[in-house]
Amino acid sequence: MPNKLNALSQVPGAFCFLPPARNPAPTDLMGCRHGSPAAHWDREPVPATCSRRVAGGGLGSAPNYSAPRTATASRRHRFMERIRSRIRITSKRFGLMTLLGCLIALGLSGCTRNEPPADLVLVNGAEPDSLDPAIIATQTEMRIVKALYEGLTRLEGKHATAEPALAHRWDMSPDGAIYTFHLRTNAFWSTGQPITAEDVVWSWRRALDPLTGAEYASQLFFIKGAEDYSTGKTNAATGKPFTPADIAVRALDPHTLRVELIGPTAFFLDLCAFPTLAVVPRFWIEQHGDRWLLTQPVPSNGAYTLEFWRLNDRVRLRRNARHWDIANIHSELVDFLPIKSATTALNLYETGAADVIWDKNLVPNELMDVLGKRPDCHKFDYLGTYFFRFNLKRKPFTDVRVRRAFALALDRQKLAAKIARSGETPTSHFTPKGMGVYEPPEGWGYDPEQARKLLAEAGFPGGKDFPPFHYLFKTDKLDEQVGVELQEMWRKELGVKMELRAMEPKVYYSAQSALDYDLSRSSWIGDYNDPNTFLDMFMSGSGNNRTGWANPTYDNLIRTANLQTDPKKRAALLRQAETLLIRDDLPIVPLWFYAGVNFYDPKKIEGIHANLLDEHPIHTIRRKK
């Protein structure tokens, strides 16, 4: 008890989950001080007059908002300003009852802002790095962007299948290679301008522009000419590089779009719902350049508009009054809270400061034995894989024998049983089962004797003379636990010593993309219900590869498979490709398949349906009246 009281006495100001007081008003990412019109991008620290922490720290910790805020902007891939923020994190661990007591005792201390409460509050994960559909790469960003920007289709919430969005209907050629989309005549930007087929053409060309640096540009490579242009290839007929005009997307009139694919693509309508293919406001981007998201009012075409983005506080969305489906947008104001700590997320949810915990990584894993039995804990099958990558540009992991040895020394059953408590399934293959006729191949199982033999053949008997190396992961308790277990397994079975290196999510992703690691924790959530969403990310030109691995045979197998109209022939080719990935070359090692977890009270919240993609359109979710 004395320790708790001492810790509590160190926390200045009031305790609450509300934003800081208005005087002086903080600056949000729209560049405005609240209570005044948007004016500029404030790069200077903005003092906060109200400390905002979870009282006593509860089960975890929350940001210390009494520290000065600093926001800086830098260019991402020479095109998009990336938002960076640094705050001091204070960690104090108390019991949940201490948290509740402090909230009751101190919650009336006047920590308020003169703005209405949200109709729906979602715990969303780490702070977004961007809200540009062409730039984003994480689940936390995509959840927000899907509410702000639509493509030709969108995913409905019950089964996560494509349904009409900006296009109200489409026609497909007999061979499945040409789509003609018919856009809605009542589709407008939130600022009043009509949305046209030319907007789609321009948006897709922008996503494919190498200067944009879109990590998911490859989602468009099924369109003729798209990959040639995006990867800077030379047109053999002209001797010049391919241009945007070579991309087979044409506006036939203001409301008709023709798209020619390289071949039949069964999942193309699902791709059209992916954020990278969302339509963005050309007129606004051409006027404001890289700062288009920092200038109000930002035009959107989704169910919501961007009200404000306040660093380390929340992203607030408002219902788009000009949306074509406004009658079915149920919540007026929606808040996305950037919470990285699972215990903090649970504190917010338990005290009623949040309605939904969306991300399964924001559920305290060590408490799942208890939490999993509650009626507000919703588990479901999930299209996601937890794995780690090798950096094939760094010795000794350039040697496939070393990589196989590390894979064979892993006891996945023990790892999953000890750490993953939400129903995860240990796996040696990367692609989950249950996607059509596809049956994935098995990778390397647990065989420590064979592992030691391979390591000795590679020149490191018993781990002797094995060079120092590290395992990179983002700051997360579960990821740290996995790292500790891997460290011990490899020490015991192979005699090697591994350093654990934790980084903040943004720094971690940057290091992984730059191949600044030896081994790195990773996960992949399917973008659509097809094996290709797992396998094409490791093609040589994919921004999501991040291993230094390039295999032309693998690339050709994926491309050839996706031109097949016979599902069984296609599955056989994809199986050959996955065998290269997880058995022959082994740039990655799968550990387990995720089980999805959401927290919400079904007596209070409606509009959420379990599906493989954990896809829950924001406009369908609401508090029950």
Determine the pLDDT at residue 435. Answer: 87
Range 325-351 average pLDDT: 95
- The whole-chain average pLDDT of the chain stands at 83
Range 38-45 average pLDDT: 25
> For residue 309, what is the enclosing H or E element?
strand 304-310
pLDDT tops 90 at residue 362:
no
Q: How many CB atoms lie within 10 A of CB 609?
A: 15
pLDDT band at 346 (very low <50, low <70, confident <90, very high): very high
Range(s) within the chain of domains with CATH label 3.10.105.10: 381-596
Dig out the tokens for 470 from the structure.
Answer: 């590290």
Per-residue pLDDT tens digits for 164-217: 999 999 999 999 999 999 999 999 999 999 999 999 999 999 999 999 999 899
**Residue 159 per-residue DSSP state:** T
How deeply is 490 buried, as exposed, middle or buried, from its count of CB atoms within 10 A (0-12, 13-18, 19+)? Answer: buried
Partners of 319 in the β-ladder: 304
pLDDT tops 70 at residue 58:
no
Per-residue pLDDT tens digits for 1-28: 333 222 222 222 222 323 333 223 333 4
Determine the pLDDT at residue 73. Answer: 33
What backbone phi and psi angles, to 5 degrees, belong to 426? -60, 145
Report which of residues 368 and 141 the model is more confident about.
141
Name the packing angle between helices 96-106 and 342-350 (round to 10°): 50
Task: Tell me how far apart the alpha carbons of residues 591 and 387 are, in angstroms, rounded to a whole number.
Answer: 5
pLDDT tops 70 at residue 93:
no
Task: Tell me how far apart the alpha carbons of residues 105 and 559 are, in angstroms, rounded to a whole number.
Answer: 62
CA dihedral 227, 233, 237, 242 (to 10 degrees): 60
133, 136, 268, 477, 491 from 196: Cα distances, Å = 18, 24, 20, 47, 60
Handedness of CA 84, 86, 87, 89 (dihedral sign): positive
Task: Tell me how far apart the alpha carbons of residues 284 and 290 are, in angstroms, rounded to a whole number.
Answer: 10
pLDDT band at 382 (very low <50, low <70, confident <90, very high): confident
pLDDT tops 50 at residue 52:
no
Dig out the tokens for 291 from the structure.
Answer: 């700062």
Partners of 593 in the β-ladder: 385, 425
pLDDT band at 113 (very low <50, low <70, confident <90, very high): low
H and E: helices and strands count for the chain: 17, 25
pLDDT band at 595 (very low <50, low <70, confident <90, very high): confident
Indicate the range of 109-113, 161-165, 455-459, 475-479 predicted with least confidence: 109-113
With helix as H, strand as E and coil as C, how does 96-141 read?
A: HHHHHHHHHHHCCCCCCCCCCCCCEEEECCCCCCCCCCCCCCCHHH
Determine the pLDDT at residue 221. Answer: 94
Q: Could you tell me the end-to-end alpha-carbon distance of the chain, in angstroms, rounded to an integer?
A: 41
Indicate the range of 100-104, 254-258, 603-607 predicted with least confidence: 100-104
Dig out the tokens for 608 from the structure.
Answer: 């959420």
Determine the pLDDT at residue 44. Answer: 24
Determine the pLDDT at residue 469. Answer: 97
Determine the pLDDT at residue 359. Answer: 79
pLDDT tops 90 at residue 266:
no
Q: Give ∠ CA 540-266-242 in degrees, rounded to 5.
A: 45
Range 312-319 average pLDDT: 96
Taking alpha carbons only, the member of 384, 448, 390 closest to residue 414 is 448
Q: Which residues contact 73 (CB under 8 A, 6 or more apart)?
A: 41, 43, 81, 82, 83, 84
Task: Tell me how far apart the alpha carbons of residues 323 and 217 are, in angstroms, rounded to a whole number.
Answer: 27
Indicate the range of 329-338, 363-372, 425-434, 452-461 predicted with least confidence: 363-372
Per-residue pLDDT tens digits for 486-525: 999 999 999 999 999 999 988 999 999 999 999 999 999 9
Q: Which CATH class is domain 139-331+598-623?
A: alpha beta
Task: Tell me how far apart the alpha carbons of residues 377 and 111 are, in angstroms, rounded to a whole number.
Answer: 31
Report which of residues 593 and 7 the model is more confident about.
593
Determine the pLDDT at residue 523. Answer: 94
Is 340:617 a contact under the CB 8 Å cutoff? no
* CATH 3.10.105.10 assigned to 381-596: yes
Report the SS3 class of residue 278. Answer: coil
Determine the pLDDT at residue 328. Answer: 97
Task: Tell me how far apart the alpha carbons of residues 114 and 19 are, in angstroms, rounded to a whole number.
Answer: 10
Q: How many CB atoms lie within 10 A of CB 66?
A: 18
Q: Which residues contact 211 (CB under 8 A, 6 or more apart)?
A: 77, 78, 79
Taking alpha carbons only, the member of 380, 358, 382 closest to residue 529 is 382
Determine the pLDDT at residue 364. Answer: 78
Report which of residues 188 and 418 the model is more confident about.
188
Determine the pLDDT at residue 418. Answer: 86
Determine the pLDDT at residue 417. Answer: 85
pTM greater than 0.85:
no
Range(s) within the chain of domains with CATH label 3.90.76.10: 139-331+598-623
pLDDT tops 80 at residue 538:
yes
The winner for highest mean pLDDT among 9-13, 71-75, 460-464 is 460-464
Dig out the tokens for 577 from the structure.
Answer: 């490709």
The full DSSP string for 24-55 is SPPB-TTS-BTTS-------S-B--SS----G
Task: Tell me how far apart the alpha carbons of residues 443 and 575 are, in angstroms, rounded to a whole number.
Answer: 12
126, 230, 529, 534, 602 from 218: Cα distances, Å = 25, 9, 17, 13, 38
Half-sphere exposure of residue 598, counting CA atoms within 13 Å on the CB side? 24
Is 230:221 a contact under the CB 8 Å cutoff? yes
Dig out the tokens for 397 from the structure.
Answer: 């992991």
Determine the pLDDT at residue 79. Answer: 34
Q: How far is CA 44 from the centre of its chain?
A: 29
How deeply is 287 buried, as exposed, middle or buried, from its count of CB atoms within 10 A (0-12, 13-18, 19+)? Answer: exposed
Determine the pLDDT at residue 360. Answer: 75
pLDDT tops 50 at residue 148:
yes
Cis upstream peptide for 297 (omega within 30°): yes
Determine the pLDDT at residue 385. Answer: 96
Report which of residues 372 and 9 the model is more confident about.
372
Report which of residues 471 and 15 the model is more confident about.
471
pLDDT band at 288 (very low <50, low <70, confident <90, very high): very high
